[in-house]
Amino acid sequence: MDVEAEMWLLRDYLPGVVERNRREFPTIARIEAMLNAPTRVVTVLVAADCTDGFTLSFWSRPEAVPDPAASAATSEFARMDPTAETEAVERLARDFEAGIWDRANGHLRTCPVLDVGLRLLVSEMTPS
């Protein structure tokens, strides 16, 4: 399962970001092959109270996304077409105001941490 693609913000409001990332970034398997060394994949959970401004940190703070300062500080939004960004942010704001977001994702508000797809690859390279 592509965990990042299932994160509500990307799945419901920014699906183009997922497709772009799949084109631009190598898969974990590809990175492991390039490293050509035993590699351990570690899941990095993101805390609900994470205040960093990266896109996936908004998983528990949907109210922050429509804030222009918050979305402007993320690489995902900065790389978007401005019209698509505006449409996505406005749709989220409407859904949040109408309670649609809470009906679909409100259960996340009680989670202290969430797997949003971040992975750390740890590999010990030996000199040749």
φ/ψ (deg, to 5) at 46: -110, 125
pLDDT at position 1 is: 54
**Which residues form the domain of 31?**
3-123
Q: Tell which wins on pLDDT, 96 or 70.
A: 96
128: in domain: no
What CATH number does residue 90 fall under? 3.40.50.150
Residue 2 main-chain phi, psi, to 5 deg:
-90, 95
At 30, the pLDDT band (50, 70, 90 cuts) reads: very high
What pLDDT sits at residue 44?
96
Number of domains in the chain: 1
> Considering the entire predicted model, what is its pTM?
0.84
- Residue 100 DSSP class: H
